[in-house]
Amino acid sequence: MLPDFPKIKEKFREAINRYLQDVVRQESLLSQFRQERHFEGNKMSSKTEERGLEESSYKEMSVEYSINREDVIMKGPMAFIENIQNVAEDIKKQQANFMLDKLKEVTDRTGQVVDGKGQPFTHELFMEVLERIQIDFDEQGNPYLPTVFVPPEMAAILKEKIPEWEANPEYEKRFEELIERKRKEWNDRESHRKLVD
Partner 1 sequence: MIERAIENWLTNTNERNYQVAFCQVLLKKGHKVIYVSSHRPMEQGKDIVTIDSNGGYCAYQLKTGKIDLKEWRKISGQVRELIELPIVHPSVDKTKVHKSFLVTNGEIIDEVRIQIDQINEDNQRKGRGYSYLEIINGQTLLKEFIDAQGKFIPQELKDFDLFLKLFLADGTDFLPKDKYFSFFNNTVFKDTPGQKSDAINAISGSIIITTYLLNPYQIRKNYYALFEAWTSLAACIVRYAQRTGLRKEDWIDSFNLAVSEIVRNLLLLKDETLKRKDFLEGDSLGDGWLVYRARATIVFGALATLELYRHKTDKEYIQDNRLLELIKSNINMLWLWGESALPHFFGLIKYLELCGEYEVARSLLNALFLGVISSNAPRVSVSLANPYYSVNAVLEAVLEAMLGIDIEKIDFSQFSGSSYTLEAIISMIARRNEKELLKKNWRQLSHIAFKEFKPDKVEDTFAWLTREGSNHVELPKATQSWAELVKEANDLNGVPDLYLQYSDLLRFFILVCPHRTNKLVIRALDTNH
The residues binding partner 1 (CB under 8 A) are 34-49, 55, 144, 189-190, 192-197
**Least Cβ distance, residue 32 to partner 1 (angstroms):** 13
**Least Cβ distance, residue 196 to partner 1 (angstroms):** 6
Angle at 13 between CA 8 and CA 17, to 5 degrees: 150
**Least Cβ distance, residue 191 to partner 1 (angstroms):** 9
Q: Name which of 40 and 70 has its Cβ closer to partner 1.
A: 40
Q: Name which of 20 and 126 has its Cβ closer to partner 1.
A: 20
Q: Name which of 98 and 144 has its Cβ closer to partner 1.
A: 144
- The rounded distance, in Å, linking the Cα atoms of 179 and 145 is 10
Q: Name which of 24 and 126 has its Cβ closer to partner 1.
A: 24
Q: Using DSSP bridges, classify how beta strands 143-144 and 43-48 pair: parallel, antiparallel or unpaired.
A: unpaired
Nearest to 181 by CA among 149, 147, 146, 143: 143
**Least Cβ distance, residue 190 to partner 1 (angstroms):** 6
- The rounded distance, in Å, linking the Cα atoms of 6 and 3 is 10
Give the single-character DSSP code of 30: G
